[in-house]
Structure 1
Amino acid sequence: MKEAKRMRVLVAEHADASRAEIVRLIESDPGLRVVGAVRDGQAAVDFLLAQKADVALLDVHLPRLDGFEATRRIMASTPLPIVVCSGVSNAADATIAFRALEAGALACVEKPVGGGDALRARMAHLLQTVRLMSEVKVVRRRREPGPPRPAGRAAAAPRVVGIGASTGGPPVLQAILHALPRDFAAPLLIVQHISPGFLHSMASWLGETSGMPIHIAAHGTVPLPGHAYLAPDDFHMGVDAGGRIVLSREPPENHVRPAVSFLFRTMAQYSGPGAIGVLLTGMGRDGAEELRRMRDAGATTIAQDEESSAVHGMAGAAIALGAAGQVLPAERIVPALLALVTGGP
């Protein structure tokens, strides 16, 4: 019987011992094969110009070219799915990781360091993330964001915008938040699936690059127009009848917590026609059925189209269910939100 094709992985890690451990870990998976192991970013770029790989795993702290610059050059010359590996306790490394996501990397994972259950969990997550890259379509790097839009007109009625995203989501979120005007007349509640420990760095990166106030959501907060609120690690986020943010430790939904499904379900129940639901790129089906509930409750619903999605899983499932009132490329989502909330482009 013919042997199943193994994914070809390039590993770039500056520390010899860590590189050897990561290579051993990847080779332990029968579906993965290391085709190259290099110690710096320029070597990773050069390797991919000469040889083929299906996915690259890049340390953020590389000699010659760091993870961001290596990602930028790879996506310009030999684009492929890139996973960046960072220590979450190092703020500088985490910042480079999110700049790499902005440049085209699709996921960031915590370095498999430490011991005991924590180490085993990090190792399993790294392997799972690399394996999932086989389902990812490479989207060549988006256009650099332009200047923020000027202020729009005040909304006739306040609304709330809920956004759900997973794989490939952070750069799309960044582009949306950057392009919205500073007086955008609705709060944005965001559930982004991301590796544990990276949320605070993502919030800082989004705030610095978009100019919008970004908050880690707190239970009981009344969300403010023109502010974005991220669901905290390991908590579902939703809204109550008074429009306040609700955090919950109810069981995971669709194997994740926070889940987009929880946010959209509460918005369907309590916000109804006063809500907008947006489902972006991501693996799986999280939020798809609940986006349909939002539409049935009178909310406006938007799903990202396949062409601009890194993974058309969640949004694709919503479209198949008839949950999306509009199916839009990433760059047309902001004009749609402005038309809905401010009554103009």
Structure 2
Amino acid sequence: MIRVLLVDDSEVTLQVLQRIFEKEPDIMVIGRAKNGNEAINLTSRLTPDIITMDINMPGLDGFVTTRKIMENTPVPIIIVSGIDDLDEIRASFHAVEAGALAVYRKPPAIDDPAFEDAAAELILAIRTYSEVKVIKRRSRHLPPKIPSTEPVLPPEKISKDIRVIVLGASTGGPQVVQEILMNLPSDFSLPMVLVQHMSPGFIEGLGLWLFESTGFKTCIPSEGDHLMPGVLYIAPDGKHTGITEDLRIIFSNDNPEHNLRPSVSYLFRTAALNIGNRVAGVLLTGMGRDGADELLLIRQKGGLTIIQDRESSFVYGMPGAAESLSAAMYSLSPKRISSILTSLSEGS
């Protein structure tokens, strides 16, 4: 039985969430909190398996509440946020930075046509993230630890004439992409294209958060955009996103792949077929196997292929599926992924 604590200052939202979860035989709502202080107290007293957290609340908001919980009694937390206010979306990603695992849209009214999809998305999130092992986050007021140094791969082992880097991520991806970007140099010279599985409505906020927290330029592309050096292009909601031979963005409304649109598979496949041995594919943490077969295709075409290692992955589904196919040339932590991408940039 998955024991859930609901946190939201809206009684209507609490009732809707309770109705969604109480129908599931393996999920039990053990408490409801309407503000941050209540959430902190109930977390300590009830020890839930997972928390759904609102952002805008009186007193302690969802960001501060998440940070305090993760510093003292860490529990898997997913943010359940509105998508109509960009500032709220950006605050949701700051809560991710504080330790929340993912961001999801608040479900619409029960009679809304989109309700069933939103409810199914939240149920799957509860089942997925309740199993993630979380650790205490250090307080911002404590001096940071000196980061450990990891050896950089010898440049001669990765010297390739790479024109573009394609990345795919799902569960836990935003935090990992943030870490990779933070460890890239300011003069990084290659374009990157990312498919991040995410609840609809949050991609623009993801891009803003990544830019604000890392300084790396991000962009939600339009069809036909030419890829520019040193920019991370993030696939928009609802459209398969790919790359042409002349490094332009293409969109497709083809059927979902792995029940997803955009899919990592579509991005990786177009990159492999159109760019061949001049593409680097990076498959990061995530549930399922989206992109695994296509990472193998990139390798077969002579490109460079990397997966995130098991130790650093939130969920080893996508990288693990690629590993089982021998699709990856390297299995690395996010920091070492940054190192190898930096070497590619220096050689371009």
Q: TM-score, normalised by structure 2?
A: 0.89
Please state how far the C-alpha of 1:281 moved relative to its aligned partner: 0.7
Distance 1:125 1:304, change over 3 A: same
Specify the alignment match of 1:91 in structure 2: 86
Q: Paired residue for 2:254?
A: 250
**Following the alignment from structure 1 to structure 2, what is the Cα–Cα distance between the partners of residues 14 and 119?**
20
Alpha-carbon distance change, 273 to 201 in structure 1, aligned in 2, over 3 angstroms: same
**Equivalent in the alignment of 1:40:** 35
1:1-345 correspondence to structure 2 within 5 Å: 6-114=1-109, 115-138=111-134, 141=137, 157=161, 159-343=163-347
Sort the Cα spacing of 1:140 and 1:285 in 2 relative to 1 into closer, same or farther, 3 A. farther
Contact kept in structure 2, 1:163 and 1:189, CA below 8 Å: yes
Moved more, 73-82 or 134-143: 134-143
Asked if structure 1 preserves the Cα contact closer than 8 Å seen for 2:7 and 2:32, the reply is yes
Counterpart CA distance in 2 for 1:343 and 1:185 is 10
Which residue identity does 2:27 align to in structure 1? Answer: L
Q: May I ask how many residue pairs the two structures share in their alignment? A: 331
Alpha-carbon distance between aligned partners in 2 of 1:140 and 1:324, rounded to the nearest angstrom? 32
SS in 1 for 2:20: helix
CA distance, structure 2, for counterparts of residue 127 and residue 186 of structure 1: 38
What secondary structure sits across from 2:48 in the alignment?
coil
Distance 1:137 1:258 in 2: 28
Contact 1:139 1:310 in 2 (8 A): no
Q: How many Å separate the matches in 2 of 1:208 and 1:314?
A: 28
Distance of 1:191 and 1:15 partners within structure 2: 33
TM-score, scaled relative to structure 1: 0.90
What is aligned with 1:150? Answer: none
CA distance in 2, matches of 1:210, 1:90: 22
CA distance in 1, matches of 2:60, 2:240: 38
Do the aligned residues in 1 keep the contact of 2:162 with 2:344 (CA within 8 Å)? no
Q: Read off the aligned partner of 1:127 and give its amino acid letter.
A: I
Say what the alpha-carbon RMSD is for the aligned residues: 2.2
Name the CA distance, whole Å, in 2 between partners of 1:305 and 1:77. 28
- 1:163·1:190 contact (CA, 8 Å) conserved in 2? yes
CA 1:83 to 1:257, structure 2 compared with 1: closer, same or farther past 3 Å?
same
Deviates further, 132-141 or 303-312: 132-141
SS of 2:246's partner is coil
- Percent identity over paired residues: 42
Secondary structure, aligned partner of 1:316: helix
Listed as ranges, the gaps of 5+ residues in structure 1 are 1-5, 147-154
CA contact (8 A) 1:163 1:188 kept: yes
Moved more, 246-255 or 68-77: 68-77
Ranges in structure 2 where 5+ consecutive residues have no aligned partner: 139-143, 148-158
| Matched-pair contact (CA < 8 Å) for 2:160–2:278 | no
**Structure 1 residues 304 and 7: alpha-carbon distance in aligned structure 2, compared to 1, 3 A threshold:** same
Q: Deviation of residue 35 (structure 1)?
A: 1.2
Contact 1:159 1:185 in 2 (8 A): no
